Amino acid sequence: MEVARFWRTTGQRYQLTGEVCPNCGNKIFPPRDVCPACEHEAKTPYTFSGKGEVYSYSTIHAAPEGFEKYVPYTVALVRLEEGPLITAQLTDVDTKDVKVGMPVEMVTRVLREDGERGMLVYGYKFRPVLAGPR
């Protein structure tokens, strides 16, 4: 992956930092600077909780370049609790155990590496919620 492209989106990928619209309060991810709900300029950073639920999912057996070693892996659309849908991989779960509506949480993982010499690309994935003590 291109180094500068990697670097300029670090906040989004590591922390799930999007935006909140100062006009209508709409939470936006990925950040897009213009609120899709009211078209007001929206550049106020907002970090999402990382909680959400599976909206849809699939398993990839034929991977694009750079993802070959991870097959089979599960991809999903996740509905974040603040509203937006997000596309990401699911991790630490077997596809047969995934259900639409399953609660998931964001974790930061290696998305891919650029060969043995290249950069490691870290970013968000989601996994079944690992509940702590009550």
Q: How many CB atoms lie within 10 A of CB 76?
A: 27
Options 43, 46, 53, 73; binder of another protein; rule CB under 8 A: 73
Distance (Å) of CA 58 to CA 43, 50, 96: 33, 20, 10
Task: Give the nearest distance from C-beta 23 to another protein in angstroms.
Answer: 18
* Inter-residue contact 31 to 46 (CB < 8 Å): no
Q: Which is nearer to another protein, 38 or 85 (CB)?
A: 85
Alpha helices in the chain (DSSP H): 3-8, 10-15
**In whole angstroms, what is the distance from residue 28 CA to residue 46 CA?**
8
Give how many residues touch another protein by CB under 8 A: 56
The site string for another protein over 82-121 (x = CB under 8 A, - otherwise) reads --xxxxxx-xx--x----x------xxxxxx-------xx
**In whole angstroms, what is the distance from residue 59 CA to residue 50 CA?**
22
Q: Which is nearer to another protein, 43 or 121 (CB)?
A: 121
Options 3, 10, 44, 118; binder of another protein; rule CB under 8 A: 10
**In whole angstroms, what is the distance from residue 71 CA to residue 53 CA?**
23
Interface positions with another protein (CB under 8 A): 1, 5, 9-11, 14-15, 30, 32, 36, 47, 55-70, 73, 75-77, 84-89, 91-92, 95, 100, 107-112, 120-123, 125, 130-133
